[in-house]
Structure 1
Amino acid sequence: MTLLPREEGAAGIRGRLLGFDGELYRLDTIYGQLTVDGAGVSCKGAACPDPGARVARIALSGSPVLGERLMPALIEGFAAARGLVVERGAEGRNRLFRLRAPEGGPPRAEIVLASGSTGEGVADLLTGAARIVMADREILPEEIARVREAGLGDLSQPFRRRILALDAIIPVVAPDSRLGAPERGLSRASILGLLSGEIAEWSGLGGAPAPVIIHLPGRGPGLRQWPEARVPEGRIPVASARRHESAAAVATAVAADPMGFGLARLSTLGEALQVPLADGCGTRLVASAQTVKTGDYPYVAPLSLYLGSPRLPRFGRDFLDYLKTPAAQIAIRRAGFVDLLREEIPLDRQGDRLALAIAQARPGDGLRELQRLVATLGGAVRLSETFRSAPGGADAQVRANIAAVASALEAGQFDGRRLILAGFSDGAAGPEGGGAEARRDAEAVRDAIRAAATAADFGRVRIEVAGFGDLLPVMCNGGDGDGGGPDQSHGGVPDDWTARLNRRVELWLR
């Protein structure tokens, strides 16, 4: 086939048609693969698409968490914002959404959703069956390599990934669980013991004399790619575990099984009961919109879109722009997921952490440091953007938080206010070393935000940094237990767990 320019005298392009999305032609030519805007050319040849096929179309493939719940809600919201109506249908095993004007007429656009797994989404990207991967996990290095080798872009680049929403992996039991008092929580050691079969009876945790029935997502080669696999951390789950096709099915099964214990998602909790994560100092971590946004809950699972090459049609780019809007975030929340809207958390809602800080205060200067913290943060509110790894690293959530703060600075949302970047350490470096380390982390975040906010007027906002060492910990540095339960023999909280939670930079606004 040949694409002939509408402008006289210009040369045509000949090649084999690889695809047409209603706006852009993709051709395999003697110069390699080319993408050509269909508005400026006419097509000649037997392979040319039917003129009636000029409907913008994008195909997404991947995780059913996105494909079956989140994306349909966002498509409906996008259509409503554009004054369009959505007609739902099927295309083979895939879901088809046609967007058209309320008064009828031809479709304005089509969106196809194929639900399988994140790995299957990558495979569809490689074959050309999809342009976007719906992912409930990080794309693996070998997947990035295959996509790059296929000439479809580098998925490790930040602009290739869009975090849409947040979810969390949570331990669950039935409302009438044989655990006895689920609200007291379980230590991570207990959770690992349950999953591995080391704890086979509820009586081993102070509950009723009944066996534990483990419920987990489906067995298969892709199991270790599930975000749920982060919790057992490589341990092999007990062979008798009952497998289910989805996290929602796990929650449903556990809710009906008084002897059951499983890993589900916050978005699919249903009638099951979330079990808090406990430590030996009385702290209880519960997954909520606030703790998931701040990362104060350890098992956060971002839900993302990975964009392959070539570029999307205009309709697809408009859809991606819509996903950043407050209206899209409200649709995400209504669909049962944690949105990305900024939250404000006053200091007086930090009671548990302040109590733990007071209880763990060091003799001598410990109380003095707490007074400095209260003097610095008093009257301020904590913003939900929190930074738990080096800003230049591979953590997509850190990059997203830096971009969100930079955008707010550029929009003047903090004009006339004070932003305080408060660094905290994990206690490993000791009082003096931890304070210096925490301040360095806060300075690194400040520099990353300044570098990203190229259009901000920093004369209108004051940015301060402070380091508070191991004050205000999220979890106790000195123990791992279930509130004095009988599983204390299972060992202490590994340093990497408390370090990940406690070493952080918080953003406060006054």
Structure 2
Amino acid sequence: MTILRAAIIAALWFLAQPGVALAQDVTLRSHDGAVEISGNLLGFDGEFYRVDTIYGELTVDGSGVACEGPGCPDLEHYVARLVFSGAPTIGRVLMPALIEAFGIRGGYDVTRNEISPQELVFTLHQGDGTLVGEFVFRLTNTDEGFADLLANEADIALTLREARQDEITRAREAGLGNLMAPGQVRVLALDALIPVVAPSNPVQDISLRELAQVLSGEITNWVALGGPDAPIDVHLWDAATGIGQASVDQVLRPDGRDVVANAVRHPDGSAFAEAVARDPFAIGLTTRSEQGDTWELALTGDCGFALSATRRAVKTEDYPLTAPLFIYLPARRLPKLGREFMTYLRDPSAQLVIRRAGFVDQTPEEIEINAQGDRFANAIAQAGVEVGLEELQRMVRVLGPLKRLTTTFRFEAGSIRLDAQSRSNAEQLARAMELGHYDARRLVFVGFSDGDGPAGTNRDIALRRAETVQRAVTRAAETANLERIGLELDAFGEAMPMACDDTAWGRQVNRRVEVWVR
């Protein structure tokens, strides 16, 4: 009865695998014939059966049993099938490049078939021509990606925003787990939201406050931005797209604003770029990867310096409107080929593919202090009574011998919980520590804060945030030899602002933890 007991103990409430016929009678019999498990086959991932039995839903290791009945899969010619659904930005541009590279790495021949503008199929064959996998892409939008995942019509959702509370609640109510649970959500790559205009527009920069006022209809004429006396035409991605939703969430919602009623909406980045590029009075938000022929406006402000969405500024999150590309996984096992592909996505070679595809990778880089003169110059310019010369000198003295990692940590609004990109950063840094990349080196977690309140209190809060991040990273680095790494903490509070504190967004940007290394 060992196999039966193990099967019952290992029973997991997983979703049914898309593409597998349901309610098919099977009998799983142990090789010695002592144990039988009968029921309806719910899924098979190439290694494990999921069967609805009188004991409930059981997951049984296929190596310990033989399958009999009309619902049994063909073990000899098993084909792993994964269905991806969601944002075309990810499915049409980035994923094909990653699948091609994964195929080369694994020795598979990859064939691409475009079934329709909204559906792509990649088939993976071994060298002898044996079909081993099918990756199916349904290219709709972020909302549809989440809907398909929750309806069990997709294995993986490709999204340009995080799951919202109603989607998380629906997943829990359906017994599908928490969509924000560790392992179920990953940041695949980074992009950025950028304000853009037509190349003929004379305006070169805009503050976040001005951008929010334009998108909400409070500023309606270019004169207010230093441009011509002409009405402003607001353009955005469609409200059902992840970028359309992220534009509102990041720029307008922090201060309780909403989009102006006459904003022109576009179904995708190509249509957006084409419309804005030919309209001299247009302005809108799009992504760095789909800028097209439009002209990017630098983001500026009285308390910071002008920033464009360069690769380094996006990776460090110094550029404020970072737009991560997410993949959401189901609360069940993927086929072995799918798990291998998910593992490959974390590999340094995959990060190089991401960079070459026009997105921002997550491989940590080290920045010399002499390449950060604008940040330190701004810290001096913004220093006041509470942050004086002595504290600035201490900051230079501590950080001067170190290099800054491009890994920055920020928190969800009103919370001590790391935001989605920072949780991904914690995993990336922990993995590098496990691989020994920082053995015999110092890692200093440095906390910064906004300027709302006394400087001493802000410094204490920033230090607690640095402690929180250090704990998250070391907890994730399960196999790292932490005795070989010098882990330190420091904080400088409000001494190096990246934005003004007069908006909720600015205060959140300034509350961060950086990692410096020697």
TM-score by length of 1: 0.89
Q: Percent identity?
A: 46
Asked if structure 1 preserves the Cα contact closer than 8 Å seen for 2:369 and 2:402, the reply is yes
Matches within 5 A, 1:44-59: 44-49=68-73, 54-59=78-83
Equivalent-residue separation in structure 2 for 1:365 and 1:280 (angstroms): 17
Contact 1:170 1:287 in 2 (8 A): yes
* 2:408 aligned to which of 377, 386, 391: 386
Cα-to-partner distance string for 1:11-57 (whole Å, 9 max, x where unaligned): 33322233445554433333333344445544433344456761111
1:201 aligned residue: 221
Report the Cα offset of residue 142 of structure 1.
2.2
Cα distance in 2, alignment partners of residues 236 and 451 from structure 1:
39
Query: Would the aligned equivalents of 2:409 and 2:418 in 1 still touch at CA under 8 Å?
Result: no
Q: Distance in 2 between matches of 1:453 and 1:223?
A: 32
Q: C-alpha offsets along residues 343-365 of structure 1, whole Å, 9 cap, x if unaligned?
A: 11111121112111112223587
Residue deviations 1:147-202 (CA, integer Å, cap 9, x gap): 2333333322112112111111111111111xx231xx111222122212332222
Deviation at 1:77, TM superposition (A): 1.1
Show the counterpart of 2:248.
229
* Conserved? CA contact 1:96–1:111, under 8 Å: yes
User: Per-residue displacement from partner, 1:457-490 (whole Å, max 9, x unpaired)?
Assistant: 333222222121211221245xxxxxxxxxxxxx
Asked if 1:133 corresponds to 2:157, the answer is yes
User: CA shift at 1:255, angstroms?
Assistant: 1.9
Paired position in structure 1 for 2:126:
101
Paired letter, 1:294 = T
| Distance change in 2, residues 1:40/1:297 (3 Å) | same
Q: Superposed, which structure 2 residues align to 1:266-277 within 5 Å?
A: 266-277=288-299
1:219, CA displacement in angstroms? 4.5
Instruction: Tell me which of the two structures has the higher relative contact order, counting C-alpha pairs closer than 8 angstroms and 6 or more residues apart.
Output: 1
How does 1:454-469 map onto structure 2 within 5 Å? 454-469=478-493
Per-residue CA distance 1:305-357 (angstroms, 9 max, x = gap): 11113201111111111001011111111111111111111111211121111
Q: Following the alignment from structure 2 to structure 1, what is the Cα–Cα distance between the partners of residues 115 and 67?
A: 26
In the TM superposition, residue 91 of structure 1 has moved relative to its aligned partner by 5.4
Aligned to 2:6: none
Q: Aligned partners of 2:186, 2:411: CA distance in 1, in Å?
A: 19
Distance 1:23 1:252, change over 3 A: farther
What secondary structure, in the 3-state scheme, does the structure 1 residue paired with 2:183 have? helix
Cα 1:224–1:370 change in 2 (3 A) is closer
Q: 1:8 to 1:76 in 2, by over 3 A?
A: same
Q: Partner of 2:483: helix, strand, or coil?
A: coil
Map of 1:485 onto structure 2: none
- Residue of structure 1 in register with 2:377 after alignment: 355
Measure, in 1, the Cα distance between the counterparts of 2:47 and 2:105: 22
| Structure 1 residue matching 2:192: 3-state secondary structure | strand
**Larger mean Cα displacement after TM superposition, 2-11 or 324-333:** 2-11
Asked if 1:215 corresponds to 2:243, the answer is no
Query: Aligned partners of 2:509, 2:60: CA distance in 1, in Å?
Result: 48
Is the 2:46–2:75 Cα contact (8 Å) retained in structure 1? Answer: no
Residue 402 of structure 1: how far off its partner (Å): 2.2
Q: TM-score, normalised by structure 2?
A: 0.87
Within 1, Cα distance between the matches of 2:156 and 2:186? 10
Question: Bigger CA drift: 369-378 or 119-128?
Answer: 119-128
SS at match of 1:371: helix
Q: Is the 2:203–2:225 Cα contact (8 Å) retained in structure 1?
A: no
- 2:365 aligned partner: 343
Distance 2:239 2:488 in 1: 50
How many angstroms apart in 2 are the aligned matches of 1:229 and 1:371?
Answer: 40
Does the 8 Å CA contact 1:248/1:265 hold for their aligned counterparts? Answer: no
Q: 1:365 to 1:226 in 2, by over 3 A?
A: closer
Q: Which runs of 5+ in 1 are unaligned?
A: 478-492
Residue 63 (structure 2) pairs with residue 63 (structure 1): no
Give a deviation string over 1:203-229, Cα, whole Å, max 9, x none. 232212222222111255x78972122
RMSD of aligned residue pairs (Cα, Å): 2.5
Residue segments in structure 2 that go unaligned for 5+ positions in a row: 1-24
SS in 2 for 1:113: strand
Contact 1:356 1:476 in 2 (8 A): no
